[in-house]
Amino acid sequence: MANPNSVLPLYEKNWYKHNYKRVLDSIILILLLMLLGYRLIFVNNYSLPWFVAFMCECWFTLGWIFTISTQWNPALVKTYPQRLLQSVSVEELPAVDIFVTTADDELEPPIITVNTVLSLLSLDYPSHKLSCYVSDDACSPLIFYALQQASNFAKHWVPFCKKYNVQTRAPFRYFIDDNDECMTNNEEFRQEWLQMKDMYENLIREIDVYPKSIPCLFEGEFAAFSNTTRTNHPAIIKVIWENKEMVEDGLPHLIYLSREKRPKQPHHFKAGAMNVLTRVSGLITNAPFMLNVDCDMFVNNPKIAQHAMCILLDSKGEKEVAFVQCPQQFYATLKDDPFGNQLVILYKYLGAGLAGLQGTFYCGTNCFHRRKVMYGLSSDDMENGLNKLSDEELKQISGASNELRKSIVHALKGKTNSPSDINVKKGIEEANQVACYGYEYGTAWGKQIGWMYGSIAEDVLTGLKMHEKGWRSEFCTPDLVAFTGCAPSDNITSMSQQKRWATGLLEVFFSKHCPIFGSRHIYSYNNSCDLQYIYSI
């Protein structure tokens, strides 16, 4: 927690001054309303074409009202990481559990997941305060093997990045973008650079060769993967690396997780995987904050955790902000971005507008979450201290695991584990229990706590639930882009992605979760949530 006596805030929100745009938007709205009035008053022939045109004009006018309402008071968040380190010592920085999700080792090659993990392990943040959990919904031994090899490479890569303050910490991008760096006059750096490149190329070869030997390698650590398929396998949790020394400049914990899946049993897609990650991490490390990243979105700004903590630890943000969302940016996009993959309108204009209201939506990746909010804590509970539940209530909500209930109580009270008290391997047996497909039956997971079920757009639904509880969110846009990923390279892939997003939003809109019709408890500043959601559709 930041020092409450600190005079300077850790972040500021600056509102744009754009009176000229407001005037223009208002004039356009007045003209649209005048047009609708003219249609109703002066037209005598109410034919079908007239009716269709009138309905289109009404819809456009309604859309324009939502547009100017959302963008009337845009804001930009400015963070000050240097102030964070002045007000909080390294030992006082909170721990962060990192979640990386992958579901198909063919569509999402292991080397991509490995690069994302390597970039996360080398964040500019105390290593003993980080724990990385990789969720593999395909139960692929190749992913597990790739992570094992990556952990060996990380023992050299992470110190190299921190020693030379490397910006791009995903090796495959670093060695493409910075080939000229080896020509530096610093002989020591040049030798280490060449060594790192050779080691990375060797890592690629090892991962490429492994699939050919899979049939004869289901023994030892890989015995758990025998007789498994993508849709039929037990829960598998493996500790790939444990930072036993708990040193600041070491390698963070790295844990592989594949939740149990059985045919004809609901698994709730990514939301189900995220809830399993939340429970498993709660038993093992129970960090007060969680960062979730898709396997193809690597860290581009190694200080992003510090930027996010500026918001989450600020005296104001600590009481109001549930999550900090970073935008999705893409590399290697086509010229002029013909498929709109960069989502410029969404992040640059709509995102700024939402920042001036209750905050942006949760976008499913590149997001820092407050764990106790995921456990159902509302902002009113935070203010009034109503974060206590009876043991029986906790059992009905969170499930049968006594250890998990203890960790939830621990999180709701705002207590944190000391890194020296964490025994990663000790919690594995209990973690296997909460990773089983039947654990959630009769509990509130996916309904009241955790990631919400009911839509393939689990991210939007989960964010709406947090806003409904009175929490705000913030959009974190440091000068150096926080995360980047690979954009769809063709129209078919891009359209498929856009279709999935639109389908998920419509599912929420026409369901009991719709913020307009389904919300029973609207807070004073939560009315903006309705406008945000409609505008997104």
Percentage above 90 pLDDT, the chain: 52
215: phi then psi, degrees, rounded to nearest 5: -55, -30
- Report the binding-site residues for Mn(2+): 270, 294
What's this model's pTM, rounded to 2 decimal places?
0.91
Helices and strands in the chain: count of H runs, count of E runs: 20, 13
Positions at the binding site for UDP-alpha-D-glucose: 108, 137
Q: Which of 137, 296, 314, 530 is an active site residue?
A: 137
CA 143, CA 485: separation in Å to the nearest integer?
19
45 vs 273, more confident: 273
Alpha carbons 29 and 63: distance in angstroms, whole number: 10
CB-count exposure of residue 265 (10 Å: 0-12, 13-18, 19+):
exposed
The percent of residues in the chain predicted with pLDDT above 70, rounded, is 88
Give the Å distances, CA to CA, from 331 to 35, 347, 486, 537.
44, 16, 6, 26
Does position 213 have pLDDT exceeding 80, yes or no?
no
What is the domain partition of the chain in residue ranges?
A: 17-73, 94-536
| Amino acid 474: pLDDT | 94
Q: Return the pLDDT at 523.
A: 45
Judged against a pLDDT cut of 70, whether residue 286 lies above it is answered with: yes
Task: Note the pLDDT tens digit of each residue in 338-369.
Answer: 777 777 777 777 788 888 888 888 999 999 99
Average pLDDT over residues 502-524: 68
Dihedral angle at the C-alpha atoms of 18, 19, 23, 28, nearest 10 degrees? 10
Active site residue 198: no
**pLDDT score for 495:** 82
pLDDT in tens, 446-478: 999 999 998 888 898 899 889 888 899 999 999
Q: Rounded to an integer, what distance in angstroms lies between the CA atom of residue 135 and that of residue 166?
A: 27
Annotation says 137 is catalytic: yes
SS3 content of the chain, % helix, strand, coil (to 5): 50, 15, 35
Q: Which of 97, 105, 314, 459 is catalytic?
A: 459
pLDDT digits (tens, 9 = 90+) for 415-435: 777 666 677 777 888 899 999
> What's the token pair of residue 312?
């989450």
Q: Residue 142 above 90 pLDDT?
A: yes
- Superfamily for domain range 94-536: Spore Coat Polysaccharide Biosynthesis Protein SpsA; Chain A (3.90.550.10)
* Segment (H or E) for 273: helix 269-284
Report whether pLDDT(127) > 70: yes
- Residue with the bigger pLDDT between 525 and 336: it is 336
Give me the DSSP letters along 410-457.
HHHTT----GGG--TGGGHHHHHHHTSTTTTTTS-BTTTBSSPPSSS-
- Average pLDDT value for the chain: 86
Instruction: Indicate if the pLDDT at residue 252 is higher than 80.
Output: yes
Residues flagged as binding site: 108, 137, 270, 294
pLDDT tens digits along 39-68: 888 777 778 888 899 999 998 998 888 888
